[in-house]
Amino acid sequence: MYGKLAIKVCEYYLSSLYERLRQELLKLEVIHADETPYRVLDSERAKDYVWTFLSGKHAKTPIVLYHHGSRKGTEAWNFLTGFSGYLHCDQYPGYLRLSQQDVTLVGCMAHARRKFRDSLPKDKARESDATSVAKQGIHYCDQMFSLEHSWKDLSAEERYKKRQSELKPLLKKFSDWCYKKSVSVLPSGKLGAAFQYCLNHMDKFMNILKDGRLELSNNRAERAVKEIVMGRKNWLFSQSSTGAKAMAIIMSILETAKQNGLDQFKYINYLLDKLPNEPSLLDNQRLEAYLPWSENVQLHCK
Task: Among 174, 201, 228, give the residue marking a domain's end.
Answer: 201
How many domains is the chain partitioned into structurally? 2
Q: Give the relative orientation of helices 109-118 and 190-200 as an angle to the nearest 10 degrees.
A: 160
Task: Give the pLDDT band (50/70/90) at residue 1.
Answer: very low
Range of 11's domain?
2-105+218-300
Alpha helices in 85-188 (DSSP H): 109-118, 129-150, 156-162, 168-182
150 lies in the same domain as 89: no
pTM for the model = 0.93
Task: Say if residue 129's pLDDT is above 70.
Answer: no
Taking the CA atoms of residue 129, residue 131, residue 135 and residue 141 in that order, the dihedral angle to the nearest 10 degrees is 110
The reply to whether 26 falls in a domain is yes
- The pLDDT tens digits for 95-125 are 988 988 899 999 999 999 999 999 998 766 4
- The pLDDT tens digits for 285-298 are 889 999 999 999 99
36 lies in the same domain as 89: yes
Task: Among 172, 201, 230, give the residue marking a domain's end.
Answer: 201
Q: Are 65 and 252 in contact (CB under 8 A)?
A: yes
10 lies in the same domain as 101: yes
159 lies in the same domain as 230: no
91 lies in the same domain as 226: yes
More confident residue, 216 or 3: 216
Residue type for 119, please? S
Task: Give the pLDDT band (50/70/90) at residue 71.
Answer: confident
- The pLDDT tens digits for 139-152 are 999 999 999 999 99
The reply to whether 212 falls in a domain is no
Question: Measured between alpha carbons, how far is 94 from 98 in angstroms, rounded to an integer?
Answer: 8
80 lies in the same domain as 132: no
